[in-house]
């Protein structure tokens, strides 16, 4: 299992604490330093069963500067969104946990983290 985190994020720290308390075997990816490629983002989106706009932090300054709220949310715009996430990783919702069964969850709640642990 791998968890994408920003150490400054309280939700990320909570998820790590829960994983540690449960004795989970995982690796940490500080995705602001080890930025995921467009292909890695596509893979995680497939694992999540979500679209790029579903995991985009639209309130971030970068999102406002890019005007993301006005971007179309359709198949023809998917590549544009993924490119923006790869170029501005701060826009990626966190933490993202890739589960052992090939799926992933956005671990913003204790329930979501426990869901990843059960897979």
> Is residue 91 pLDDT above 90, yes or no?
yes
Query: pLDDT tens, 10-36?
Result: 999 999 999 999 999 999 999 999 999
Q: Greater confidence, 95 or 100? A: 95
> Is residue 71 pLDDT above 90, yes or no?
yes
**Helix axes 38-48 and 78-87, enclosed angle (nearest 10):** 120
> Is residue 77 pLDDT above 90, yes or no?
yes
The average pLDDT across 74-86 equals 97
At 102, is the pLDDT very low, low, confident or very high (cuts 50, 70, 90)? very high
**Residue 9 a catalytic site member:** yes
Cα torsion for 61, 113, 15, 29, to the nearest 10°?
A: -70
**Active-site entry in 1, 9, 28, 99:** 9
At 119, is the pLDDT very low, low, confident or very high (cuts 50, 70, 90)? confident
- pLDDT (0 to 100) of residue 11: 96
- pLDDT (0 to 100) of residue 100: 83
Q: How far is CA 97 from CA 80, 87, 104, 111, 112, in A?
A: 24, 21, 5, 13, 9
The average pLDDT across 70-76 equals 97
């Amino acid at each position: 299992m791998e968890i994408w985190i920003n150490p400054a994020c309280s939700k990320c720290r909570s998820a790590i604490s829960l994983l540690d308390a449960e004795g989970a075997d995982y690796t940490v990816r500080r995705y602001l330093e080890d930025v995921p490629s467009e292909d890695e983002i596509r893979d995680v989106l497939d694992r999540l069963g979500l679209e790029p706009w579903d995991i985009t932090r639209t309130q971030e300054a970068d999102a406002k500067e890019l005007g993301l709220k006005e971007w179309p949310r359709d198949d023809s715009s998917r590549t544009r969104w993924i490119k923006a996430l790869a170029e501005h990783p701060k826009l990626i919702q966190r933490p993202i946990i890739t589960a052992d069964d090939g799926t992933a969850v956005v671990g913003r709640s204790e329930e979501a983290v426990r869901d990843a642990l059960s897979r």
